[in-house]
Amino acid sequence: MKIAVLGGTGSLGKGLVLRLASLGYDVIVGSRDVKKAEAKAEEYGKILGINIKGSDNRKAAIECDLAIITIPWKHAFDTAKELKDELAKKIVVSPIVPMEKSANGFVYVNLPEGSAAEKLASILPDSKIVSAYHNIPAKKFADLNAEFEWDVAVCGDDAESKRIVIEITNKIKGLRALDAGSLSNSRIVESLTPLLINIAINNGMKDLGIKFI
């Protein structure tokens, strides 16, 4: 399976590229800036000792079977609109969390569609939207020497697409994917991210993830 990590130059993107490529998946680093994508792909490839391809988001979307959009939320939806045709009939994974910083900490931004994943589904009606990876501490995830034990809530309305994302996620050491139901449940999972950040900041903690026991 060929996986495109669109916006794969940030910490979450880096972690996904490194860990998926190390499992043998054919991973493409996508970016709006092709030179940046190629530079990051070379950097990640040197870490693993393999060749990783970097490309602009459009070419990455065309070539992939599954795309993960790790673009900041204020830009992610515009990118999705631009790639509507390229992503048609493909699995598109949304770890997008709409949130902003306020005087009292980070707050979840309520979107009219209900969640970022549902908004993405409205933009990409011909794609199979699955939401996952919202609550992963990105910087720690990007460190291959880091050890962790986190659960990943996976939401989606297409059962087969959700099964595939769960299967891929469970191959990543330290992650356990759990079926969290329909795509509409994404709003609950997304809103946990600012909560985790606020708890970490207010209590002198860091790298908080989710674990269901």
pLDDT at 154: 98
* Number of domains comprising the chain: 1
**Count of C-beta atoms within a 10 Å radius of residue 39:** 15
Q: Is residue 212 part of a domain?
A: no
In a domain, 114, yes or no: yes
162 falls within a domain: yes
CATH of the domain at 63: 3.40.50.720
Q: 154 in a domain, yes or no?
A: yes
Return phi, psi of residue 136, to 5°. -85, 125
* Range 106-111, long-range pairs (CB < 8 A, 24+ positions): 106/194, 106/197, 106/198, 107/194, 108/190, 108/191, 108/193, 108/194, 109/73, 110/187
Specify whether the CB–CB gap between 118 and 170 falls below 8 A: no
209 lies in some domain: no
Question: Which domain covers residue 135, as residue numbers?
Answer: 2-202
pTM assigned to the model = 0.96
pLDDT of 70 reads 97
In a domain, 210, yes or no: no
Residue 192 located in a structural domain = yes
The 3-state DSSP class for residue 43 equals helix
Residue 183 per-residue DSSP state: G
3-state secondary structure of 12: helix
Angstrom CA distances, 210 to 11, 101, 144, 171, 177, stand at 18, 21, 19, 18, 11
Under DSSP, the state recorded for 185 is: G
User: How far apart are the C-alpha atoms of 98 and 114, rounded to whole Å?
Assistant: 11
Q: Is residue 207 part of a domain?
A: no
How confident is the model over 82-94, as pLDDT tens digits?
A: 999 999 999 999 9
Ordered per-residue pLDDT tens for the chain, 213 residues: 999 999 999 999 999 999 999 999 999 999 999 999 999 999 999 999 999 999 999 999 999 999 999 999 999 999 999 999 999 999 999 999 999 999 889 999 999 999 999 999 999 999 999 999 999 999 999 999 999 999 999 999 999 999 999 999 999 999 999 999 999 999 999 999 999 999 999 999 999 999 999
Residues in Cβ contact with 85 at an 8 Å cutoff, skipping those fewer than 6 apart: none
Q: Please tell me the predicted confidence (pLDDT) of residue 173.
A: 96
Tell me how far apart the alpha carbons of residues 17 and 142 are, in angstroms, rounded to a whole number. Answer: 9
pLDDT value at residue 7 = 94
CB 88 within 8 A of CB 61: no
